Amino acid sequence: MQKAAALSILCHALLDKKMEFCRVHTVFAAKQLLHAQALVDECQERLVVLDELLSDLYDNEHDVSGEIGAMLDEQAQEEATYQTLTAAVSAHKALLQRLVHKKVRLKYFHRMIDSSSLTWLLQVAATLPRPEKRALKEMLLRQDARLNSMQCVDDVHRVVTIAAVSHAFKAWYSLFDALAMSTDAACHLEQNNQTADHDVPLSASLTYGEVDFFGIASLLAILRPRPGQTFCDLGHGTGRAIFAAATLYPELRLMGIELVPSLYHASRRALDSYEMPHPQHIQLVHGDLTTFDWWSCSDIVFVNATAFSAELWNTVQLLALRLQPGALFVSLTHCLAKGLSLC
């Protein structure tokens, strides 16, 4: 009971502070809008006067081409000023609308603060991982209708997990869609790539294979990575698994190793376009997974080994033995040989 009361007091204080901040900025934005609109009106009046003066000059029987030219220049400057000022008015209006909308949401939240349901949701939120906690906060601020269906802790976990994964998927999909990096495009990159000497084709072990976003989401949900841990993808391709993990668990450290140059460069383009938090937590390496040290710093290692040759897989297994105690190793298609232990 005391904890719930403390939460309520803290929420009241935080909301009061946010509402005061919103009020001050709303007043300031309204003043800025009025000032900008006044400047627009003045500029519009000057343009009307210039139009009238130009009309008179055109009707003049004497040679006034010099005056007309000067006035046309002045008119062009005024029109440019008018465009700038109208853009400023639009920006101030948009800001004011956002502030008003935020104020409405804060008032709604303030009304909810005394309800037992909100206090309960805040208590549940304290137990959620950060992505789910953020999803619940957004749902509260949006007054999401799904909040009404939450009757128990399991309901909260189910709904906010779906919301968090959905949000992450949209960010992940938008990233690769903006780069026009479909599965077919990635396969084309791999199939048309050659080794450095341009004479020997790439090994069949490097055949491009792709993982599904929701497959990675399900895998990570089972593994329950902790903030600050390192997730490593051996043969990361265009980086789909890496960026899926990044959008789902922003506080993870991520490392990918890719040998095929075209796929590596595609993943770098994705990283350069990445706009989610903590891009500095992502390390993409152009190198050979049999020689680059991934075992000493990884907490979770993922490898899509479907196309790996027996020789390459045996090498990977031996390197996996160097992982730190407690590290997790996940592979697709191939399993670690019986008797091998990572601890």
**Number of Cα atoms under 13 Å in the Cβ half of residue 14:** 8
Residues of the chain by 3-state class (helix, strand, coil), percent to 5: 65, 10, 30
Distance CA 73, CA 68 (A): 9
Predicted pLDDT of residue 256: 95
Over its length of 343 residues, how does the chain's per-residue pLDDT go in tens digits? 455 556 566 666 777 777 788 888 888 888 999 999 999 999 999 888 888 888 877 777 666 677 878 888 888 898 999 999 999 999 989 888 888 877 777 776 666 555 556 667 777 777 777 777 778 877 776 667 777 777 778 888 788 888 888 888 888 888 888 877 655 555 555 555 544 444 444 455 555 556 789 999 999 989 989 989 999 999 998 899 999 999 999 889 999 999 988 889 989 998 988 877 677 789 999 999 999 999 999 999 999 988 888 899 999 999 999 999 999 999 988 888 765 555 4
Distance CA 213, CA 117 (A): 34
**Contact between residue 204 and residue 287 where contact means Cβ atoms under 8 Å apart:** no
- The answer to whether residue 202 is domain-embedded is no
Contacts 24+ apart (CB under 8 A), 86-92: 86/40, 88/36, 89/33, 89/36, 89/37, 89/40, 92/29, 92/32, 92/33, 92/36
Distance CA 235, CA 302 (A): 9
Predicted pLDDT of residue 297: 93
Backbone angles phi, psi at 196, to 5 degrees: -60, -30
Verify that 232 and 286 share a domain, yes or no.
yes
Predicted pLDDT of residue 298: 95
Predicted pLDDT of residue 204: 53
- The answer to whether residue 336 is domain-embedded is no
- The answer to whether residue 337 is domain-embedded is no
- 233-to-210, 211, 237 alpha-carbon distances in Å: 12, 11, 9
> In terms of DSSP bridges, do strands 282-286 and 300-304 run parallel, antiparallel, or are they unpaired?
unpaired
Predicted pLDDT of residue 160: 83
Distance CA 176, CA 169 (A): 11
- The answer to whether residue 293 is domain-embedded is yes
Verify that 157 and 90 share a domain, yes or no.
no
Range of the domain at 309: 184-189+212-331
Verify that 245 and 168 share a domain, yes or no.
no
Verify that 99 and 125 share a domain, yes or no.
no
Verify that 20 and 94 share a domain, yes or no.
yes
Predicted pLDDT of residue 200: 40
Verify that 125 and 169 share a domain, yes or no.
yes
Verify that 98 and 170 share a domain, yes or no.
no
Verify that 124 and 142 share a domain, yes or no.
yes
- The answer to whether residue 82 is domain-embedded is yes
CATH code at 261?
A: 3.40.50.150
CATH code at 28?
A: 1.10.287.2610
The structure tokens listed for 319 are: 């390197």
Verify that 43 and 123 share a domain, yes or no.
no
DSSP annotation of 212 reads -
Predicted pLDDT of residue 300: 96
Closest among 268, 326, 264, 331 to 301, alpha carbons compared: 331
Verify that 9 and 51 share a domain, yes or no.
yes
Verify that 259 and 281 share a domain, yes or no.
yes
- The answer to whether residue 338 is domain-embedded is no
**Contact between residue 208 and residue 263 where contact means Cβ atoms under 8 Å apart:** yes
Ramachandran region, residue 150 (left: φ > 0; alpha: ψ -120 to 50; beta: rest): beta
Helix (H) or strand (E) holding 332: strand 328-332
- The answer to whether residue 197 is domain-embedded is no
The structure tokens listed for 5 are: 């009361």
Number of domains in the chain: 3
DSSP annotation of 155 reads H
Last residue of a domain, one of 129, 154, 179: 179
Verify that 94 and 137 share a domain, yes or no.
no
- The answer to whether residue 160 is domain-embedded is yes
